[in-house]
A and B are shown apart, each in its own frame.
Chain A
């Protein structure tokens, strides 16, 4: 029994001494931190996605407290709700940002842009971009190897095996911007979600002359100017044989979609028009989803 008692006493004494030492060390080396940082960090989503431009949610909280203002600081996954809560905490005003979502500006599926080569190499868009123009031959189109899917931390992207293009799951997308950075061809863009989740955009990035673009891909933008002429709200600009719709000016009238000869302008989440527009029903990757 004796050795057990001695061991027990010795170890308890050691534990007590160490506890006291730790207590004093903690007091000595304590870092004074603004308690607001903790409060703000609690309100943030905690995904550490980097969409705000800072390394993690805690760094974002520190930046807010340090600058003591919310100018230029916005947490996309948290959205307006979280920013207004933080603003209340800090006695500041938060600017209301319209909710955004990522869109894939390419329709070069295996059907529209038939593969002209086989690719044997690592599954990485950054590398393939360096090696060649892409399986379909379009130097601006999607390579289909999934760098964007890898970069997404909110499970909002997946690669459709039938088309070879990435698909955005709108409910999960927080517009953090990681996929935009990951794509070596800048195909993904963050656009306003729009009223009733509807939006219209040009699903092509091809800047070649029309004949070359169309030779490669059935639904390429050929820069024919038909959409820009049709738009009464001055929302469409044609540059380098490519049309671009400004989402701030677009009123979702859908006139440009109707006149586009190659069907490269997509309308998302609209109800189908009553008249039978044969071209729209064509391509399986066109998203006209009833919401």
Chain B
């Protein structure tokens, strides 16, 4: 009778998932593409990958403990995810000190300045990538050739990415004539130039299927994003097939699959309602296609996702329909 019972508000049971499990699922989903990157780009990839992940963890710990004077929360694995995604977005011959700067920007400015986990407006890995792209354009646009560069750690053989060739040549017909474009099978497997994580479409898709199975992401953003890009580029390809590349080319090159399945679907920076997610996906798709077809940069995924991230609070406010809503 003198037993002290606990008084609390309902509900009194919890579902099984927690934050670590979700982050761990993302890490597992990225492993196939990581192994692919190690295969195609060799030691350079291993170096960039480990430097990125370890420095992200260190910076998060240091900033939380000494600058913010909070209890460090690196055990929620979100820093590892940021580190992996940052590594995926840079070429494998990036100097180590540039990678470290990238980690500092990703964690410090992309995440901590806003208030830590769950508060940031922009995707941290993309913030760092865009910062590096604009500050160190030469380092960030020298792409090692896959497999040929795998054995060395320095002085690797470099070559342009397929999208780079397209932009330089001005039209797809001119690009094909250079003889530098990889075949579609090569693009699918990953045997092409590009950032470490974006080359292998099939390995990324394996990871994406795992995330869909574990219900960490849903199809709304990736599907609307990719379909929009396909439709947009498809229309222009139908108008002038000699100038514009076909939709499959756009799908398999560049960071589209990486961006659509792993970067745009980042929970913190994407809308929470399904309707909002579709609007977000369509917006990203339109911007990516515009930048790729008419912009000065060959690749538009990072910029389009960051721009749409800025609109997410607005999208969230206009995209809910609640039960019993009375039409005024």
Contact = CB atoms under 8 A, between A and B. Distances in A.
Q: Do chains A and B touch in the complex (CB under 8 A)?
A: yes
A117 B8 CA distance: 10
A119 B4 contact: no
A132 B4 contact: no
Interface residues of B, number: 6
A120 B4 contact: no
B6 interface: yes
Interface in A237-270: none
B9 A119 contact: no
A116 interface: yes
B9 A117 contact: no
A121 interface: yes
A118 B9 contact: no
B7 interface: yes
Interface in A104-154: 115-121, 127, 131-132
A227 B5 CA distance: 38
A127 to B, nearest CB: 7
A116 B6 contact: no
A127 B9 CA distance: 9
Contacts of B4: 115-118
A118 B7 CA distance: 6
Contacts of A121: 7-9
A212 to B, nearest CB: 17
A131 B9 contact: yes
Interface in B1-18: 4-9
A120 B5 CA distance: 10
Contacts of A127: 9
* Most A Cβ at <10 Å: residue of B4, B6, B7, B9: B7
Contacts of A131: 7-9
A38 B238 CA distance: 69
Interface string B3-41: 011111100000000000000000000000000000000
A66 to B, nearest CB: 37
A262 B62 CA distance: 54
A115 B9 CA distance: 18
Contacts of B5: 117-118
A114 to B, nearest CB: 10
B18 to A, nearest CB: 18
A1 to B, nearest CB: 30
Contacts of A132: 7
A118 B9 CA distance: 12
11 contacts: A115-B4, A117-B5, A118-B5, A118-B6, A119-B6, A119-B7, A120-B6, A120-B8, A121-B7, A131-B8, A131-B9
Interface of B: 4-9
Interface of A: 115-121, 127, 131-132
Nearest 5 pairs between A and B by C-beta?
A120-B8, A118-B6, A117-B7, A121-B8, A132-B7
